[in-house]
Amino acid sequence: MNPRLLPAVAPEDAPAWQQSVLAFLAEKERRSGSRRTVEGYARTLWPFLTRVGSPALVTPGHVLAWAYGIGLSGREPSSATIGARIACLSSYFRFLIRIPCPLRHE
């Protein structure tokens, strides 16, 4: 799945966690009304979750290494970037807690 594209519907064979990211992004767009916000969240979530493999596998160590890790620019992240990364993940995991059907370990 291309992290830059935000299809309205996930393929039926997509893993549950990918479908949950799309549902989260759709809700984020509905609530914020900002496509730019949704695109920023998508650019943040897809690479992180793809690298880890599934939200069910995320550990505090993954989050800390990623939040404070050097990005594509090759520079250490600013405090604003660290805060944005953590806020994005926090928002996504709060969404997972609220959805009626929890993800199965994949």
- Residue 3 scores a pLDDT above 70: no
Q: What is the mean pLDDT of residues 44-62?
A: 93
Distance separating alpha carbons of residues 2 and 96, to the nearest angstrom? 21
Instruction: Give 5-42 pLDDT, tens digit per residue.
Output: 454 556 677 788 888 999 999 999 998 888 898 999 99
Name the pTM for this structure: 0.80
Task: Give long-range contacts, CB 8 A cutoff, 24+ apart: 58-65.
Answer: 63/89
Q: Can you give the pLDDT at residue 105?
A: 45
Angle at which helix 79-98 crosses helix 16-32, to 10 degrees, equals 110
- Residue 70 scores a pLDDT above 80: yes
Domains of the chain as residue ranges with CATH: 16-98 (1.10.150)
Q: Can you give the pLDDT at residue 13?
A: 76
